[in-house]
């Protein structure tokens, strides 16, 4: 593998790590007095091929069954 290709792979990995780091947090929206999933997290979930979530999705609605029971 040449150096240029290695840099490209590292750049893509860093980009993914930075994007994934933003997933998993919810923000409080005072306008609706509720917590919401930020747009950047929804976009990343869509890019990863996961179920798209709308802005109004409840944090509880996206938990898998086992996590919800916990």
pLDDT in tens, 20-59: 666 556 777 788 887 777 777 777 767 766 665 665 666 6
Size (the chain), residues: 70
Q: How far apart are CA 42 and CA 67, in angstroms?
A: 20
Q: Identify how many contiguous H helices and E strands the chain contains and give both numbers.
A: 3, 2
CA dihedral 23, 37, 25, 67 (to 10 degrees): -90
Q: Is 37 exposed, middle or buried (0-12, 13-18, 19+ CB in 10 A)?
A: buried
pTM of the model: 0.39
**C-alpha–C-alpha distance, residues 64 and 50, integer Å:** 13
């Amino acid at each position: 593998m040449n150096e240029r290709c290695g840099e490209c792979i590292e750049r893509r990995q860093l980009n993914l790590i930075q994007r994934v780091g933003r997933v998993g947090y919810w923000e409080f929206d005072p306008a609706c007095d509720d917590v919401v999933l930020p747009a950047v997290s929804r976009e990343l979930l869509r890019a990863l091929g996961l179920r798209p979530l709308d802005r109004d999705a409840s944090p509880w609605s996206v938990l898998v069954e086992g996590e919800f029971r916990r």
